[in-house]
Amino acid sequence: MKQQILAVIKNLLSKKSTDSFIQESNTTELKKTLNIFDLLILGVSAVVGTGIFTIIGSAIVGGSGSSGAGTGVIISMLIAATASLFSALAYSEIAAMIPVAGSAYTFTYATMGEFMAWMVGWILMLEYAIGNITVATAWTGYLTQLLKGFKHILPEFIVNCPLWLRNDFRSMYAICEKYGWDVHDKMPFLHLPFGIEMPIAINIPAIFIVLVLTILLIKGVKESTRVAGIMVFVNLSIIISFVLVGSKYVAPENWVPFAPNGIEGILAGTFIIFFAYIGFDAISTAAEETKNPQKDLPIAIIGTLVLCTILYVSVALVLTGVVPLGSIDTQAPLAHAMRTIGKDWYAGAISVGALCALTSVLLVYQLGTTRIFYAIARDNFLPKNIMKIHKKFQTPHIITWISGLIVIIGSLFMDLNISAELCNYGTFASFVIICIEVLILRKTEPNRHRPFKVPFCPLFPILGIVMCSCFMIYKSLSGGDSSLYFLLWVAMGLAIYIGYGYKNKRINE
């Protein structure tokens, strides 16, 4: 019995050498087609858009029991960017050293062993799959706003799509509260452990866009980045023009008070806005499909973070300068700001830009999900046959379909705010782990060639660990169901590993 226990522990801690990972990547069936420009497109696609078009208003004004940051949201952005930068540097060092699909999952397998690798992979799937659900829900909201601009042309049913067909939980709750109705009588609920309830609705627009992007990803990553490139061009054009046009109408008195809720509001805004920075690590998931990963990955990861932070701060300054704090619309802040200064025509353009931005985010998140699934299946934690490569397109088509179905099912009942917070927990956890792994590899493989090195090591990785851990603790203490959802997700991952993954790996090796 003792020997069996020791054998299990040994397996749980068993590592996969970095050389074996690199050898696998050199013999991969995935087509190496991506260059530095493609990687930057993926990075910007994942980061720019989500925060600006979906949550910047909530971070400024507050809501759901949290205090708003006001114009102090730019401090929230800089704090989030700093925490992300430490993790971005860590990702850059390891991704350049081990340019393999799977991101933090692969890196964890090389540093912490089998069990931790599985758990990190499971948490990464939370980050990308749940993040995709969040963005898909926001995509539906902006499509609805855009269609209302064509109310004189389109049928009434399309313009005013029923709430239960577009998963608009917020409106449903508001209507029930207004008329004193019991929301349980108006929509079905899914009952989970710990007394957690999830409303169920149908999100037709989200299902449609996820199906379209799933088919596009099956056709090829290069083709997908071309589409993302078009989306990014439209998106950046809208954002830059918003800054240029809006800056002429900025009233400095709207920036006073700078932080109406003090440090509490800034920290609350930081946690909300952190969702905007999720996705730059998706660049590392495409490492096996990159022509020159050692050089291009670090440039793309850090370049994405710097460029997007500049854009976020610029938009926040213009938005809070144009519209008084109490008048900012949390649903469509940029479009509302343009209406405030009499630029009604620009509101429609912003809706188009938002749809392009969110579409590109969906595309990159879906790519990240499939490549993590691919790496986990290659290591025999999941059935091997799901990682089959399409003969014509040379993409993992089965896994791509599975990832798309996960997002579609999740969009039936996930609320945007809860799923965004849940996604943040997964991101914080993966950022902490990647910083720890840099410290481990510096000790265990000090002589291995590193095309890129984290400066001021171990200080920067330690700062990344401390900042991300503090954010997780802060949010957990502030209450809400998202921390319970995260624990439930971790428990599910543990159960799958014990019940299937561990045994399947032993059988197939």
| Better pLDDT: 305 or 326 | 305
**259-306: pLDDT as tens digits:** 888 888 898 888 888 877 776 777 877 777 788 888 888 888 888 888
Q: 3-state DSSP call for residue 272?
A: helix
Mean pLDDT of 452-475: 89
pLDDT of residue 339: 80
Q: Is the pLDDT of residue 227 over 90?
A: no
Alpha-carbon distances of 73 from 131, 252, 260, 401, rounded to whole Å: 22, 16, 11, 38
Torsion of CA 35, 40, 41, 43, to 10 degrees: 130
Mean pLDDT of 345-350: 76
Angle (CA) 307 78 49, round 5°: 50
Q: What's the first-to-final CA gap in the chain, in angstroms? A: 23
Choose from 9-18, 19-28, 188-197, 400-409 the range with maximum mean pLDDT.
Answer: 400-409
Inter-residue contact 71 to 320 (CB < 8 Å)? yes
Burial pattern 431-462, b for ≥16 Cβ within 10 A else e, equals bbbbbbbbbebbeeeeeeebbbebeebeebbb
d(CA 477, CA 223): 44
Proportion of the chain above pLDDT 70, given as a percent: 83
* Helices then strands, each counted (H, E), the chain: 24, 4
Q: 3-state DSSP call for residue 342?
A: coil
| Better pLDDT: 200 or 114 | 114
User: Helix %, strand %, coil % for the chain, to 5?
Assistant: 75, 5, 20
pLDDT tier, 376 (very low <50, low <70, confident <90, very high otherwise) = confident
pLDDT of residue 322: 92
What average pLDDT does the structure give for the chain?
81
Q: Is the pLDDT of residue 461 over 90?
A: yes
- Residue 198: in which H helix or E strand, if any? strand 197-199
pLDDT tier, 27 (very low <50, low <70, confident <90, very high otherwise) = low
Inter-residue contact 453 to 442 (CB < 8 Å)? no
Distance of CA 504 to the CA centre of its chain: 30
pLDDT tier, 38 (very low <50, low <70, confident <90, very high otherwise) = confident
**Domains in the chain and their CATH numbers?**
24-167+202-507 (1.20.1740.10)
